[in-house]
């Protein structure tokens, strides 16, 4: 398969369980186990990241579960995504400003188990975005949410991606999760090559 995704755009990959959707994301993020063999190239902004370790790829991931740290409060969870070059006070200031930006400043000092599922989902996304990834991967991030929350969080996610001009690849089972402007890729039944305007992330894989 081969595809390119522009900044601010979402490529949506749909397919049955076991077809390799999550494996594709793992390959992009650099999380494949050493025992797993794959061939091809992965580029971000025309630079190959295929041989880079995961922590050097500048790729963020949003999973089904929020994965917030239970021993940290909300602003501390956000601060965890910030670079170590920032001082502790700078991290706190940035985290609190981010909470104000999404109108969740009132929960800054609460523990994850003291806030709602929708709030946890938003904090998880913003923590990922605070690391300033060049690419964000969405691994069925809406699948465990109830319908009303799913719809509002979905809109929130795509708005943040567009506003921050980040290329995104999402895997999902539900076509309702796919934004209108997204390229939809049915795998493995789709054509082998998909092109969108731009080349923020390019992957070319022979085997996965």
Tens of pLDDT along 99-155? 999 999 999 999 999 999 999 999 999 999 999 999 999 999 998 888 888 999 999
State phi, psi for 127 to the nearest 5 degrees: -60, -40
- Residue 76 CA to chain centroid, in angstroms? 20
Q: pTM (2 decimals)?
A: 0.85
**What confidence tier does 34 reach under pLDDT thresholds 50, 70, 90?**
confident
Average pLDDT over all residues of the chain: 87
Average pLDDT of span 75-82:
95
Average pLDDT of span 60-65:
91
The predicted structure's pLDDT at residue 88: 96
Neighbours of 78 (CB within 10 A): 27
Token pair recorded at residue 50: 């295929």
Average pLDDT of span 20-39:
84
Pairing mode of beta strands 39-44, 201-207? antiparallel
Query: 83 exposed, middle or buried (CB, 10 Å; 0-12, 13-18, 19+)?
Result: exposed
Is residue 200 over pLDDT 50?
no
The predicted structure's pLDDT at residue 189: 62
The predicted structure's pLDDT at residue 41: 86
Pairing mode of beta strands 183-186, 10-14? parallel
Is residue 191 over pLDDT 80?
no
CATH 3.60.15.10 is held by the domain 2-207: no
Is residue 194 over pLDDT 50?
no
Are the beta carbons of 181 and 23 closer than 8 angstroms?
A: no
The predicted structure's pLDDT at residue 89: 97
**What confidence tier does 202 reach under pLDDT thresholds 50, 70, 90?**
low
Please, what sign has the CA dihedral across residues 14, 20, 22, 28? negative
**What confidence tier does 15 reach under pLDDT thresholds 50, 70, 90?**
confident
Higher per-residue confidence, 12 vs 190: 12
Is residue 32 over pLDDT 80?
yes
Region of residue 103 (phi > 0: left; psi between -120 and 50: alpha; otherwise: beta): left
């Amino acid at each position: 398969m081969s595809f390119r995704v522009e900044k601010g755009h979402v490529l949506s990959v749909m397919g049955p369980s076991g077809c390799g959707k999550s494996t594709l994301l793992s390959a992009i993020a650099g999380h494949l186990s050493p025992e797993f063999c794959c061939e091809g190239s992965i580029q971000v902004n025309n630079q190959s990241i295929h041989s880079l370790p995961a922590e050097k790829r500048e790729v963020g991931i949003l999973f089904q579960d929020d994965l917030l740290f239970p021993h940290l409060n909300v602003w501390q969870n956000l601060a965890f995504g910030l670079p170590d070059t920032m001082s502790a006070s700078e991290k706190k200031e940035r985290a609190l400003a981010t909470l104000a930006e999404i109108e969740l400043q009132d929960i800054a000092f609460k523990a994850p188990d003291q806030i709602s599922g929708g709030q946890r989902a938003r904090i998880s996304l913003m923590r990922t975005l605070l690391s300033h990834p060049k690419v964000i991967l969405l691994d069925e991030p809406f699948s465990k949410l109830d319908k009303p929350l799913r719809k509002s969080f979905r809109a929130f996610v795509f708005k943040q991606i567009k506003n921050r001009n980040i290329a995104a690849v999402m895997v999902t089972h539900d076509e309702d999760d796919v934004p209108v402007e997204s390229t939809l890729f049915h795998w493995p039944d789709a054509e082998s090559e998909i092109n969108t305007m731009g080349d923020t992330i390019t992957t070319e894989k022979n085997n996965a």
